[in-house]
């Protein structure tokens, strides 16, 4: 049970000076510079069989901004063209250490002509009312701008922090982190007492009211390939063969509606453990005279909770297929983990009364006058990689906790408010040297 907060303390003169540096204009300037940096090279599809992005342009741009603020910057790189940014600002001593994290890659923009809100260019930010549109506004260059602006406002106010601050911006987050967070944690020894991952946790209600949650846990994900096999025959005599595509079409509804064995979590998340169909392919070019004898579908398994494993997920899927094969003697089907796809675990809930959640809660009340919602985020982000290695890591950021295929946007008011919350939480966690 999370303890209710007492009445917030009044703003100090120092805190007011810091927040004076957090303006809409300052955030917009930073966001509009960050969003196109290194794009479209930094597009990074989840598909394991597609080439990964190259985040170098974004990394170099951000590294220069951090050096200008006085950080010592390193660019640890596992794969050529994909540097991570690790910027360090030692404190005066006597405080805890904090990592502010975000990622450099984005998911692909798709058909540029569909980006009607940015004039057909997904990486050219354009404001409409209280929203800024472009790929990466919400996931996650707009959130990254919050971390940089909060840091800049603290340093511009002349604050000397007690604890050590690191700004860590990773490559390869969209593919679950092998060249980014996993590399930094397991091979480079990245560490801190607390981690705030500034990724989308924003929400808007039907009545137009809005806020930002604190994601104290995450759901996991997995990719699975299902194959059906048939007997090829001429299209004039489909009755003499077994059409693998037709068999897949009859199998998919059972897979789409199946349930997974799991133990309910304290926070269930927006989506229960379930499948979603991502790809289907059958038939061969230059063979339209014949019925297909192989069909393959890729399923995403999302909402994975702690305790679920790759083995348990595969066993549940294989049981559905076995039942379908008993009901249809002509069905020949199997499943396997999609090659090179990682199994991503769901994480346990962080303590809402411990840091960094407690500091974010206090700062949120002082900024917006109410408590933030603590919840389980359905999506992958680097929070998972920190948390599964025992770090106190949570997610908080102004982007919408939903992912627009086109015309992605971020609410400007949320971004400014989130920056103020992050700045106050940083002061609280790290402490201010006399």
The predicted pLDDT at position 8 comes to 75
CB contact burial 53-79 (16+ within 10 A = b; e otherwise): bbbbbbbebbbebbeebebebeebbbe
Listed residue (137, 145, 187, 186) closest to 167, CA to CA: 145
What span, in angstroms and rounded, lies between the C-alpha atoms of 61 and 186? Answer: 26
Residue for token digits 């759901």? 219
Report the chain's C-alpha Rg in angstroms.
24
The predicted pLDDT at position 368 comes to 97
Query: Does the global pTM surpass 0.75?
Result: yes
The predicted pLDDT at position 287 comes to 96
Give me the residues of the chain with pLDDT under 50, please: none
The predicted pLDDT at position 4 comes to 74
What span, in angstroms and rounded, lies between the C-alpha atoms of 70 and 65? Answer: 9
Distant-in-sequence, close-in-space partners of 172: CB < 8 Å, separation ≥ 6: 44, 52, 53, 55, 82, 103, 105, 178, 179, 180, 181, 183
The predicted pLDDT at position 10 comes to 87
Please give, one letter per residue, the 3-state secondary structure of the chain.
Answer: CCCCCCCCCCCCHHHHHHHHCCCHHHHHHHHHHHCCCCCCCCECCCCCCCCCCCCHHHHHHHHHHHHHCCCEEECCECCCCCECEEEEECCCCCCCCEEEEEECCECCCCCHHHCHHHCCCCCCCEEECCEEECCCHHHHHHHHHHHHHHHHHHHHCCCCECCCEEEEEECCHHHCCCCCHHHHHHCCCCCCCEEEECCCCEEECCCCCEEECEEEEECEEEEEEEEEECECCECCCHHHCECHHHHHHHHHHHHHCCCCCCCCCCCCCCCCCEEEEEEEEECCCCCCCECCCEEEEEEEEEEECCCCCHHHHHHHHHHHHHHHHHHCCCCEEEEEECCCCCCECCCCCCCCCCCCHHHHHHHHHHHHCCCCCEEEECCCCCHHHHHCCCCEEEECCCCECCCCCCCCEEEHHHHHHHHHHHHHHHHHHHCECC
The predicted pLDDT at position 3 comes to 80
Give the strands of the sheet with 131-133, arranged side by side.
126-128, 131-133, 409-411
The predicted pLDDT at position 9 comes to 80
The predicted pLDDT at position 68 comes to 98
The angle at the Cα of 205, spanning 200 to 207, to the nearest 5 degrees, equals 150
Contact predicate 368/286, CB 8 Å: no
Contact predicate 136/39, CB 8 Å: yes
């Amino acid at each position: 049970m999370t303890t209710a907060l007492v009445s917030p303390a009044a703003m100090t003169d120092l805190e007011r000076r810091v927040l004076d540096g957090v303006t809409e204009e300052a955030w917009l300037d930073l966001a509009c510079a960050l969003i196109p940096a290194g794009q479209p090279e930094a597009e990074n599809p989840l598909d394991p069989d597609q080439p990964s992005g190259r985040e170098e342009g974004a990394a170099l741009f951000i590294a220069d901004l951090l050096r200008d603020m006085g950080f010592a910057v390193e660019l640890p790189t596992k794969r050529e063209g994909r540097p991570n940014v690790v910027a360090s600002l030692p404190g005066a001593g006597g405080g805890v250490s904090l990592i502010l994290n975000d990622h450099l890659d984005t998911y692909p923009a798709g058909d540029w002509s569909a980006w009607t809100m940015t004039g057909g260019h997904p990486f050219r930010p354009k404001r409409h009312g209280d929203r800024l549109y472009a790929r990466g506004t919400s996931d996650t260059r707009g959130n990254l701008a919050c971390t940089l602006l909060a840091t800049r406002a603290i340093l511009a106010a002349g604050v000397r922090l007690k604890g050590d601050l690191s700004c860590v911006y990773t490559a390869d987050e969209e593919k679950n982190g092998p060249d980014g967070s996993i590399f930094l944690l397991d091979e480079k020894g990245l560490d801190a007492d607390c981690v705030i991952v500034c990724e989308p946790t924003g929400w808007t209600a039907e009545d137009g009211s809005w806020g930002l949650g604190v994601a104290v846990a995450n759901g996991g994900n997995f990719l699975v390939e299902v194959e059906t096999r048939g007997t090829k025959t001429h299209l004039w005599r489909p009755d003499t063969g077994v059409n693998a595509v037709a068999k897949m079409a009859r199998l998919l509804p059972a897979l789409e509606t199946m349930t997974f064995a799991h133990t309910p979590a304290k926070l269930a998340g927006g989506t229960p453990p379930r499948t979603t169909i991502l790809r289907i392919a059958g038939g061969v070019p230059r063979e339209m005279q014949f019925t297909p004898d192989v069909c393959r579908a890729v399923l995403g398994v999302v909402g994975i909770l702690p305790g679920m494993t790759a083995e348990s997920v595969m066993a549940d899927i294989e049981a559905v297929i076995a039942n379908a094969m008993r009901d249809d003697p002509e069905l020949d089907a199997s499943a396997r983990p999609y090659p090179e796809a990682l199994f991503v675990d769901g994480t346990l809930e962080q303590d809402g009364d411990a840091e960094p959640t407690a500091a974010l809660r206090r700062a949120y009340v002082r900024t917006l006058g109410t408590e933030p919602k603590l919840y389980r985020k359905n999506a992958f982000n680097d929070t998972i990689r920190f948390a599964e290695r025992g770090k106190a890591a949570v997610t908080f950021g102004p982007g919408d906790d939903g992912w627009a295929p086109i015309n992605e946007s971020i609410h400007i008011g949320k971004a400014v408010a989130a920056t103020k919350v992050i700045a106050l939480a940083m002061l609280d966690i790290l402490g201010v040297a006399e």
